[in-house]
Chains A and B, each alone.
Chain A
Amino acid sequence: MKKEIQVKQLKTDVLIIGGGTAGCYAALTIREHSNASVLILEKANIKRSGCLAAGVNAINAYIVEGRTPEDYVDYAKKDADEIVREDLLLTMSQGLNRVTKRLEELGLVILKNENGQYVARGNRNIKINGENIKPILANAVKKLSNVTVMNHVNVTDYIVKDNEILGAFAMGIEEEIIYEIRAKKVICATGGAAGLYKPNNPGFSRHKMWYPPFNTGAGYAMGIRAGAEMTTFEMRFIALRCKDTIAPTGTIAQGVGAKQVNSKGEVYETKYGLTTSERVYGTVKENQEGRGPCYLRTEGISSSQDEELKKAYLNMAPSQTLKWVEGGKNPSEQNVEIEGTEPYIVGGHTASGYWVDTRRKTTIKGLFAAGDVAGGCPQKYVTGALVEGEIAAKAAIEEIENDKSNSAALSKEEEDLLIKLKKQEVENILNFEKPVFSIEELEEAMQKIMDAYAGGIGSNYQFNEKQLALADEKIKHIMELSNKLHANDMHELMFVYELKERLTVCKAVIAHLRARKETRWHSFAENLDYPKKSDKWLKYVNSKLIDGELTILYRDLVGRGENYEHKN
């Protein structure tokens, strides 16, 4: 029997897509400053969704005593070798301590000294117990009036007319329902994209990755399809992690002062530089030149340090503690092997994402972006995502209060047609007969192409022009095949949409990697045809779908004291 899906229509003042860090904080901010109704749509459950499901090890973006927000901007700018938006970094940095205080009020445990001041871990970090950071945020959101949270509902498309957002389409994961949501303003806080490249552990533990495998780049893909301008997708993020468990290394490196060493015991980190990309690059080079594997030198730390490390990992990445215990060897007895992950696209660490102004408005009217999905503002981490949620929320309610309601109107006929087409699209997938390939097979094919031709782990993160051209062509083929998939149920339907999102993001990543003809960041974007960096490339690589074609646009850097504004 052919499946038919019912359609439900919802209305809200502000739609927040994704109830992670930025999305939850946006809801809290709206309720503090306005009576506007809020709807949060979350594909999982806001209690444990997004990158902080297991917890977080520290607050890594904080202005510690004696430092200024401008210092933080300088740090992020140096780490990204100039390709950042200083206006975005500054507005983010100025809010870091404010949101941290708020987190503490909500219940986050932060270590303090006898004078009641936060205890710093390094120059920009403070020590916390972040195991329950997500339940804390979720509880705060649940208490708000006129804020509706719908868990297990996956947003797949924006409704946009004349470059103005009017709402979105979403689908239940458990229930056979399509939602058409109309909203005055939309805040996109979906997070970044994992699962584009072949992962570290491609077999049974394929999802044991750094970034949540459930963050599939939905926010990027919806924006790209709707014609939003995107920036810096060529600055991929590769994390340096504990081998196998892909657990964080910063806790060991900063916590017990462990250096990166090669198999000969030589400290190599100083040889290649200390930026995030250089640390990854150094590890790749040491392996390539026969001095692998690489480690964090923990041998010789004290037994109390062993115990504290095990506890710290239970609060954010329990698999690492399990590995130490079941392996029967503490870090003091055995150095911790490290490796680079597959590349991700994630605006909280590098600068990929929506091209926004300082109010976090995207180039689509009424659409705001916050957190990992927003570009130009790397090293934002958890607190930076909170600040962006706050900024976007304030801007959205200000527009509502100034009565800048939607100027583009959708007639009843237009709306009915959109719903009819969406219903057909979904039912076609649920009723598709005799598919040649499974969703999983196409996902694997996509990851293999990206790995081999667009600088994955298997090619030491390097690529050349010919390989990128091949990657583009091959991804195009997978995109065609992705239109002939069958889903048994709503959960599998989500898998189909997730695959398509990833493919859309892959296409953009390839286009951006092809466009920046230099190597500014080793490993993150290492083009073997252009192995050097050049001042000619002190500019942003942006992209936008124009007449169905992803088109590259170049923009001048926004430096200190400058403010970028969208021009209509």
Chain B
Amino acid sequence: MSIKINKEKCIGCRRCLSVCPGSLIKLDEDGKAYMKYPKDCWGCCSCIKECKECAILFYLGADIGGRGSHLTVETEGDIVHWNIEESNGTLHSIDVNSKDSNKY
């Protein structure tokens, strides 16, 4: 359970640093965000929602059954696109309307 940050995409805006409930993300010497404490990630996904550049990839550790897929989030108005890319490149997208309540 943790995140990887794509250094090429990161613009160093610090939004993920600011929002992480564990303050686990820091800036490196190039001014780019990096996950300083990968084992301390709770998996809340606050950072991937905050990142406008989709530079943060959320994944499940192998110890909890992760198989190398990555989760990112893009928000367009009320619609939240949750994108999952499997390690073989297969893409899945689930759209959630933030104005819709959970059915369950």
Contacts of A204 in B (CB 8 A): 1-2, 38-39, 61-63
CA distance A241 to B86 in the complex (A): 25
Contacting B at CB under 8 A, from A52-66, are 53-54, 57-58
Interface-central residue, B43, B59, B86, B102, by most chain A CB under 10 Å: B102
Q: Which of A57, A206, A310, A326 contacts B60 (CB 8 A)?
A: A326
Interface-central residue, B1, B67, B69, B84, by most chain A CB under 10 Å: B1
Q: Is the CB of A311 within 8 A of B102?
A: yes
29 pairs, A vs B, C-beta closer than 8 Å: A43-B23, A44-B20, A45-B19, A47-B46, A48-B19, A48-B46, A53-B42, A109-B99, A109-B101, A127-B101, A127-B102, A127-B104, A129-B98, A129-B101, A129-B102, A131-B96, A203-B61, A204-B1, A205-B39, A209-B42, A213-B42, A244-B65, A310-B94, A312-B102, A321-B82, A322-B58, A322-B60, A326-B67, A326-B69
Contacts of B64 in A (CB 8 A): 201, 205, 208, 244-245, 319, 323
- Where the two chains meet, the residues of B that have a C-beta atom closer than 8 Å to any C-beta of A are 1-2, 18-23, 38-46, 58-69, 71, 80, 82, 84, 86, 92, 94, 96, 98-104
Residue A152 interfacial (CB < 8 Å):
yes
Contacts of B86 in A (CB 8 A): 326
Contacting B at CB under 8 A, from A90-131, are 109-111, 119, 121, 127-131
What's the minimum C-beta distance from A344 to chain B, rounded to whole angstroms? 14
CA distance A308 to B65 in the complex (A): 22
A203 closest partner in B (C-beta): B63
B95 closest partner in A (C-beta): A311
Q: Is the CB of A48 within 8 A of B21?
A: yes
Q: Is the CB of B1 within 8 A of A173?
A: no
- Where the two chains meet, the residues of A that have a C-beta atom closer than 8 Å to any C-beta of B are 43-45, 47-50, 53-54, 57-58, 109-111, 119, 121, 127-132, 151-152, 173-174, 201, 203-209, 212-214, 244-245, 251-252, 254-256, 307-312, 314-315, 317-319, 321-323, 325-327, 491
B70 closest partner in A (C-beta): A322
B84 closest partner in A (C-beta): A325
CA distance A318 to B19 in the complex (A): 17
Contacts of A322 in B (CB 8 A): 58-60, 69, 71, 84
Q: Is the CB of A319 within 8 A of B43?
A: yes
Interface-central residue, B19, B80, B96, B103, by most chain A CB under 10 Å: B103
Q: Is the CB of B22 within 8 A of A214?
A: yes
Contacts of B38 in A (CB 8 A): 204
Contacts of A208 in B (CB 8 A): 1, 42-43, 61, 64
Known A-B contacts A206-B39, A208-B43; A314 and B98 likewise in contact (beta carbons under 8 Å): no
CA distance A50 to B19 in the complex (A): 12
Q: Which of A50, A127, A130 contacts B103 (CB 8 A)?
A: A127
Q: Which of A45, A203, A212, A318 contacts B58 (CB 8 A)?
A: A318
CA distance A544 to B80 in the complex (A): 49
Pick the 7 closest A-B CB pairs, nearest first. A255-B104, A111-B101, A326-B69, A244-B64, A53-B44, A48-B46, A54-B44
Known A-B contacts A49-B21, A207-B1; A109 and B98 likewise in contact (beta carbons under 8 Å): yes
